[in-house]
Amino acid sequence: MTDSKYFTTTKKGEIFELKAELNSDKKEKKKEAVKKVIASMTVGKDVSALFPDVVNCMQTDNLELKKLVYLYLMNYAKSQPDMAIMAVNTFVKDCEDLNPLIRALAVRTMGCIRVDKITEYLCEPLRKCLKDEDPYVRKTAAVCVAKLHDINAQLVEDQGFLDTLKDLISDSNPMVVANAVAALSEIAESHPNSNLLDLNPQTINKLLTALNECTEWGQIFILDCLASYLPRDDRESQSICERVTPRLSHANSAVVLSAVKVLMKFMEMLPKDLDYYGTLLKKLAPPLVTLLSAEPELQYVALRNINLIVQKRPEILKHEMKVFFVKYNDPIYVKLEKLDIMIRLASQANIAQVLAELKEYATEVDVDFVRKAVRAIGRCAIKVEQSAERCVSTLLDLIQTKVNYVVQEAIVVIKDIFRKYPNKYESVIATLCENLDSLDEPEARAAMIWIVGEYAERIDNADELLESFLEGFHDESTQVQLQLLTAIVKLFLKKPTETQELVQQVLSLATQDSDNPDLRDRGYIYWRLLSTDPVAAKEVVLAEKPLISEETDLIEPTLLEELICHIGTLASVYHKPPSAFVEGSRGVQHKRLPPRAGSGESTESPDVGQSGPSEAPPAVIPSQGDLLGDLLNLDLAPPTATVPSVQPSMQMGAMDLLGGGLDSLVCSSPAMGAGLGAAPAAMPASLGSAPAVGGGLGDLFDLGGGVGMPTGSYVAPKTVWLLAMKAKGLEISGTFARRGGIIQMDLSLTNKAMSVMTDFAIQFNRNSFGLAPAGPLQVLTPLSPNQTIDVSLPLSTSGPVMKMEPLNNLQVAVKNNIDVFYFSCQYPLSLLFVEDGKMDRQVFLATWKDIPNDNEAQFQIKDIHLNSDVASNKLQGSNIFTIAKRTVEGQDMLYQSVKLTNGIWVLAEMRIQTGNPNYTWMCWRRPHVRECVSQNDSPVIS
Amino acid sequence: MIGGLFIYNHKGEVLISRVYRDDIGRNAVDAFRVNVIHARQQVRSPVTNIARTSFFHVKRSNIWLAAVTKQNVNAAMVFEFLYKMCDVMTAYFGKISEENIKNNFVLIYELLDEILDFGYPQNSETGALKTFITQQGIKGQHQTKEEQSQITSQVTGQIGWRREGIKYRRNELFLDVLESVNLLMSPQGQVLSAHVSGRVVMKSYLSGMPECKFGMNDKIVIDKQGKGGTTDEPGKSGKQSIAIDDCTFHQCVRLSKFDSERSISFIPPDGEYELMRYRTTKDIILPFRVIPLVREVGRTKLEVKVVIKSNFKPSLLAQKIEVRIPTPLNTSGVQVICMKGKAKYKASENAIVWKIKRMAGMKESQISAEIELLPTNDKKKWARPPISMKFQVPFAPSGLKVRYLKVFESKLNYSDHDVIKWVRYIGRSGIYETRC
């Protein structure tokens, strides 16, 4: 019998033919036809049109045919609910059949048909099947309760099925127990607070008995359920452990891992001075090692879990280093994981072996693997001090190979070694410098620059080296730019006489020509430091850095504890809590390890568990030497209050920049708002009432108060974007703001429905300026009824671009556990004015002349009672910069420039006549932008 | 739990698609094809997360099996299930191939319906499944009530792997002790690492529900008995026993009994299955020793001499011996002289492959080769990969001995003595390498 022929029928008119065959009198022909239908269904063809014909075949005594029809029903019933009802009778009848296999089949299939009307009819047969005399029917019915709960939870509760299910835990048949446990565990997950499982010593005892008798899968369900139990004391915990340990010898790796989970969890409660504690530790190692001889996919799961176990209890596997050595034939995912564990287990005792292995790996083919191996050598050096020298020489050998990515990776780790052992291995710097030209990855370049800056006094041509990087400053990534800035400042502080020019160059590059706020901020801080107090600068910049910790990439202890509770599951594979990848209410619960055993904690013997991260969490400092972190510890308050005094000895040009530049630096600290806020404070309050729709500009001046406004940028009040009645109770109001160079969307989410809302996510349609969320929507807690949450969503402008009508229209989709909702809103264009929109005077003049007349537009803004200076100040807060000012016949003319995030410049002239300001806005090249700017800006100014 | 299960051919066409949960849509089928099967690079992980949906996959020849879920499932269980699924299919229709899957798609759907309910794995022992899922499918109607309840109690019962009423005219069992011995040795002959991973595979053709007890020379058991005062001389038995690092058992073995008494008792499945797996690292008999000698003559020539010594009883014969001697990448020519077997330089594999059909114990054999090299300006030294070896020997390198396998069947009239038992030991090379 070859069924493959059913896959090959692709004729036209097939459906009609099938219809005829399905209604044929001959049984064989009917069956053939149903097979063809199923084959078509498998490959994705829509055969739902045949629904009534297929269902007609259901009344048969041929079991195989019946199963095929059921399969069809499960697939299509949802799309044809009215016709599906035709099947109910057969189901109900089958549930009474003499053959237990048919009874079970009927109840199993019925549960898979997600049609409300059918569900109603399911209750009675299900109730009978739960009490069936045959265990096969009972075990199927137990799972069916979980199915029904997924469709209609309320119904399951009302019908009392949960209690019947609980009773099945005491069933005489182990498989019924196992399935009941599985079903209850799943239902309990969606009721986090209910005490559904109600585990107590009696039920635990029943489960442990069933554990010995049921199938391998059943053992997994039971063990996973046991893991959620909290024993009352250490004795109960020990007795459970004793009964679970035999599972460690099971051939099924999942049984072993689930048993390990239970033991790891309950061990927490055992006093450490107990003999049994030591025995248990010893018993855990061999099965974990054995898991590594399983098939590669399982090895991968096991290794991800061992990675967690090693972090939690390093003593278990400390002698088993060798088994993690990489084999030539291992798949790459296994190799990478083994490498990780090797580093975690590296110690003085085994370091020689480990290094020899790592050196071998560094000559392999797979680039990722080689990189990780090189990095691992560096981590060994940091972890085991005695081996550092050998590691460094190994790394030097590898650099000699001149393999590009090996060299780059080696330099990155050598930087970390320098941070751990300062002034010890600088003899290698010469070799590193030889490879300067071959570095093309930002991380390696940054590392190299850091090394040069750090050891500038010992490198004769440090200034030349750094200068060579400076040439292409703007093409470098931020990481490199920041590092270069710091390195040159270090160099200047060490060799002030020869490097003045260099430092001025880099400071002006960083502060004037860059639009990266981090870089500019750091540039200003240095500039300020150097100009006010070089001695302090030296203390700050050349301060002794904290040593980096030996343990890098450790999982944060609370997360680790949670993951230990999820051993064997996807969470332990991803190393993420379930809430990070599971939708809906499931998995929102955070699991915790049981509280530690009180006794023995203090009398803990030194050799056991001393290295457990949970007891003495080492201070984890990121190994990527990020100097900004060190710098930010500075107290910025004093310098902001004092007027910058010029140090004559510094002989710096362009000092005026300091003044102007600092002002914007100052804006980022709330205390300094006064500088901007002083003039507007005098504003008549009535101005605030200017039209606010679409981002009323008038409010810009309300800033006068300056309260709580971190930057000078104007923020419109929130307007309602999404009505509750249109969005099943979710109301969204919001506005846009630009703070410290970052565009933010401020949202207020209000739940006006009756039920809790969770799982918020947001997405934008393509829009004119490529606005897109820069991160996920952070609604951490569920939104309960009548609650309002304010969130601020940072936006980037790197999203896909599509012209919208109007230009500043933004279409937004917000999703929660209930549905997806769409709305659109308009953002003020001032949102897109970037901070470095101040055009050079000369350039401005030249461009102004070039603007064609038809690109010019004029707008009038009325009822402004401001003088030109105040207005100009105010506009600067919104990144509309006044380049020049002219007074002609009592009229003030302000020439202004604005730069949009997508690099378009807008130039404007503003005429102000006392009492009746009249504005002319002109912009170049993009007429549609112009219109929009005008619409937007009128509010900004008035 | 598992939300759906798909089987694809190498082109990514769906052969089987069964969805168990409402949260898995038809688009999941395509997502996996696009992101994994048609992905350009090599598979970087057997678990893939695409749009909050997790895909677990295994590959058998060019067939992809993928399990899909949106929940935090037990990942180890999902993979174990996929392997089991492959075993079941193989037991039903042989090799897993596109043709076989298409030919048996109805059967596969029937199996999937039975062994996975709402994504929860159910009894998946082929022994039990074959009693009621048959390719004829009509059997259901002709069963008596007793037969039916027998099936259901077997599927759900404690001994799901064996059906009642098995009868053999000749009660017979075969035990194969299959070991693979792994070695890494330094050029000076020092053992860097060595371990044996072994399996005990049993073929049982026994009537009824036989209770079996398996005994081997496990050190812990022997020592216990030694204390009890058996006739064995303690010193002697101590030598013959072996220390087992770890072992795992087929689900038929009563684990709690092993844990408490270290005795291995079980009711075996019918036919072939793997009774246990084990690992040892102490006192391993290394069947061969490789003594390499590499001499660089100038910059363009290498002289290699390799001696292999067999280290077991002279009466035993090792088979299928193969020694692989790596050569540098810039080799231009090789001359080989060997006393026994055949040796060939394989340029495509960068190695000299020396094959010997048979070799008795306590013998030695030698190969010498002259390797001519092209002069290169490559500064990088040749890394000298290790010399590897393959072989098969008729004993267990771990020293494991089967002491007994007792069969008790109280209901039928045959006793332990009537059962014909066969034991065979096969030792194979795993990764058996000597650095040079």
What are the pLDDT digits (tens) for A523-555? 999 998 888 888 888 888 888 887 777 666 788
Once rounded to an integer, what is the mean pLDDT over residues A690-699?
36
Once rounded to an integer, what is the mean pLDDT over residues B28-43?
87
Band (pLDDT 50/70/90 cuts) for residue A75 is confident
* pLDDT for B146: 73
Band (pLDDT 50/70/90 cuts) for residue A886 is confident
Is the Cβ of A572 closer than 8 Å to some Cβ of chain B? yes
Q: How far is A923 from A832, CA to CA, in rounded Å?
A: 15
Q: How far is A442 from A477, CA to CA, in rounded Å?
A: 6
What residues 551-570 of chain A have any CB closer than 8 A to a CB of chain B?
566, 568-570
Once rounded to an integer, what is the mean pLDDT over residues A64-77?
86
Give the tens place of pLDDT for each residue, B291-339: 999 888 888 888 999 999 999 999 999 999 999 999 988 889 999 999 8
State the nearest Cα–Cα gap between B96 and chain A, in angstroms.
14
Give the three-state DSSP class for A521: helix
Looking at per-residue pLDDT, the higher value among A618 and A131 belongs to A131
* pLDDT for B224: 79
Whether residues A135 and B105 touch (CB distance < 8 A) is answered with no
* Residue that has been written with the tokens 């036919």 in this structure: B271
State the nearest Cα–Cα gap between B232 and chain A, in angstroms.
29
* pLDDT for B420: 93
Give the tens place of pLDDT for each residue, B189-200: 888 889 999 999
Band (pLDDT 50/70/90 cuts) for residue B125 is confident
pLDDT at B345 over 80: yes
pLDDT at A700 over 50: no
A257 to chain B: closest CA residue: B76
pLDDT at A692 over 80: no
Once rounded to an integer, what is the mean pLDDT over residues A101-105?
90
State the nearest Cα–Cα gap between B48 and chain A, in angstroms.
10
* pLDDT for A823: 83
Of B23, B117, B250, which has the smallest distance from its Cβ to A140's Cβ? B117
Structure tokens at A120: 């109603």
Chain A positions touching B104 (Cβ under 8 A) are 3
pLDDT at A903 over 70: yes
What residues 150-209 of chain A have any CB closer than 8 A to a CB of chain B?
150, 173-176, 179, 182, 186
Of B118, B156, B254, which has the smallest distance from its Cβ to A176's Cβ? B156
Q: What is the largest CA-CA distance in chain B?
A: 86
* pLDDT for A864: 63
Whether residues B14 and A297 touch (CB distance < 8 A) is answered with no
B304: nearest Cα among B382, B356, B379, B193: B382
Is the Cβ of A254 closer than 8 Å to some Cβ of chain B? yes
Q: How far is A37 from A724, CA to CA, in rounded Å?
A: 45
Structure tokens at A614: 């949970």
* pLDDT for A624: 39
Decide: A91 and A124 in contact? Cβ < 8 Å.
no
* pLDDT for A612: 37
* pLDDT for A310: 93
Between A and B, how many CB-CB pairs are < 8 A?
267
Give the tens place of pLDDT for each residue, A633-680: 333 333 333 333 333 333 333 333 333 333 333 333 333 333 333 333
Looking at per-residue pLDDT, the higher value among B160 and A640 belongs to B160
Decide: A65 and A30 in contact? Cβ < 8 Å.
yes
Torsion sign (Cα): A817, A820, A824, A826: positive
Band (pLDDT 50/70/90 cuts) for residue B227 is low
- Classify strands B246-249 and A905-912 as parallel, antiparallel or unpaired: unpaired
A107 to chain B: closest CA residue: B117
pLDDT at A99 over 90: no
Counting residues of chain B whose pLDDT is more than 90, the rounded percentage is 59
* pLDDT for A179: 94
The amino acid present at A38, given as its one-letter code, is I
State the nearest Cα–Cα gap between B104 and chain A, in angstroms.
6
* Residue that has been written with the tokens 């009534």 in this structure: A52
Chain B positions touching A578 (Cβ under 8 A) are 72
Once rounded to an integer, what is the mean pLDDT over residues A215-235?
92
Structure tokens at A800: 């896909």
What residues 68-97 of chain A have any CB closer than 8 A to a CB of chain B?
68, 70-71, 75
Q: How far is A874 from A910, CA to CA, in rounded Å?
A: 14
Give the three-state DSSP class for B253: strand
* HSE value, Cβ hemisphere, 13 Å, CA-based, for A267: 27
Counting residues of chain A whose pLDDT is more than 70, the rounded percentage is 80
A826 exposure class (CB count in 10 Å sphere: 0-12, 13-18, 19+): buried
* pLDDT for A140: 94
- Low-confidence winner among A173-177, A619-623, B157-161 (lowest mean pLDDT): A619-623
Average pLDDT of the residues of chain A = 78
Give the tens place of pLDDT for each residue, B369-381: 999 988 876 655 6
Decide: B426 and B181 in contact? Cβ < 8 Å.
no
Cα distances from A454 to residues A429, A462, A463, B130, in angstroms, run: 11, 10, 12, 73
Structure tokens at A659: 């003044």
A516: nearest Cα among A740, A328, A235: A740
pLDDT at A844 over 80: no
Looking at per-residue pLDDT, the higher value among A88 and B8 belongs to B8
Decide: A762 and A814 in contact? Cβ < 8 Å.
yes
Q: How far is A84 from A241, CA to CA, in rounded Å?
A: 50
Whether residues B47 and A573 touch (CB distance < 8 A) is answered with yes
Once rounded to an integer, what is the mean pLDDT over residues B381-409?
89
Of A221, A256, A570, which has the smallest distance from its Cβ to B72's Cβ? A570
Q: Can you list the alpha helix ranges (DSSP code H) found in A190-252? A: 201-213, 216-226, 234-244
Residue A808 has what DSSP assignment? Answer: T
State the nearest Cα–Cα gap between A581 and chain B, in angstroms.
6
Band (pLDDT 50/70/90 cuts) for residue B98 is very high
Looking at per-residue pLDDT, the higher value among A915 and A262 belongs to A262
State the nearest Cα–Cα gap between B314 and chain A, in angstroms.
33
Whether residues B277 and A146 touch (CB distance < 8 A) is answered with no
- Classify strands B420-434 and B172-185 as parallel, antiparallel or unpaired: parallel
Is the Cβ of A581 closer than 8 Å to some Cβ of chain B? yes
* Other beta carbons within 10 Å of A646: 12
Whether residues B118 and A111 touch (CB distance < 8 A) is answered with yes
Q: How far is A141 from B104, CA to CA, in rounded Å?
A: 28
To test the contact with chain A by mutation, choose from B255, B260, B276, B384 the residue with the greatest count of A C-beta atoms within 10 A, namely B255
What residues 124-143 of chain A have any CB closer than 8 A to a CB of chain B?
134-137, 139-140, 143
Band (pLDDT 50/70/90 cuts) for residue A585 is low
* pLDDT for B229: 47
To test the contact with chain A by mutation, choose from B21, B27, B80 the residue with the greatest count of A C-beta atoms within 10 A, namely B80
Once rounded to an integer, what is the mean pLDDT over residues A932-939?
50
Q: Which CB contacts under 8 angstroms, 24+ apart, belong to B134-140? A: B135/A1, B135/B92, B135/B104, B135/B107, B137/A62, B137/A63, B137/A64, B137/B110, B138/A62, B138/A63, B138/A64, B140/A63, B140/A99, B140/A101, B140/A102
Whether residues B76 and A257 touch (CB distance < 8 A) is answered with yes
To test the contact with chain A by mutation, choose from B143, B152, B162, B377 the residue with the greatest count of A C-beta atoms within 10 A, namely B152
Band (pLDDT 50/70/90 cuts) for residue A227 is very high
The set of residues, in sequence order, having a beta carbon less than 8 Å from that of A699 and lying 6+ positions away, is A688, A690, A692, A714, A715, A716, A717, A939
* pLDDT for A685: 36
Decide: A335 and A326 in contact? Cβ < 8 Å.
yes
The set of residues, in sequence order, having a beta carbon less than 8 Å from that of A282 and lying 6+ positions away, is none
Name the pTM for this structure.
0.70
Q: How far is A892 from A915, CA to CA, in rounded Å?
A: 12
A106 to chain B: closest CA residue: B113
Cis peptide before A806 (omega within 30 of 0): yes
Taken as a whole, chain B contains a residue count of 436
Of A108, A182, A301, which has the smallest distance from its Cβ to B79's Cβ? A301
State the nearest Cα–Cα gap between A114 and chain B, in angstroms.
9
* pLDDT for A594: 76
Is the Cβ of A98 closer than 8 Å to some Cβ of chain B? yes
* pLDDT for B351: 92
- Low-confidence winner among A868-872, B141-145, B216-220, B322-326 (lowest mean pLDDT): B141-145
Q: What is the largest CA-CA distance in chain A?
A: 108
Per-position DSSP letters for A439-482, written without gaps between them: --SHHHHHHHHHHHHHTGGG-TTHHHHHHHHHTTGGGS-HHHHH
* pLDDT for B87: 93
Decide: A38 and B106 in contact? Cβ < 8 Å.
yes
- Low-confidence winner among A46-50, A474-478, A609-613, B362-366 (lowest mean pLDDT): A609-613
Whether residues A146 and B118 touch (CB distance < 8 A) is answered with yes
Of A173, A182, A246, which has the smallest distance from its Cβ to B258's Cβ? A246
* pLDDT for A559: 92
Phi, psi torsion values for A14, nearest 5 degrees: -60, -40
Band (pLDDT 50/70/90 cuts) for residue A463 is confident
Looking at per-residue pLDDT, the higher value among B231 and B242 belongs to B242
Once rounded to an integer, what is the mean pLDDT over residues B384-396?
92
* pLDDT for A195: 73
Band (pLDDT 50/70/90 cuts) for residue B228 is low
Chain B positions touching A135 (Cβ under 8 A) are 152-153, 156-157
A417 beta partners? none
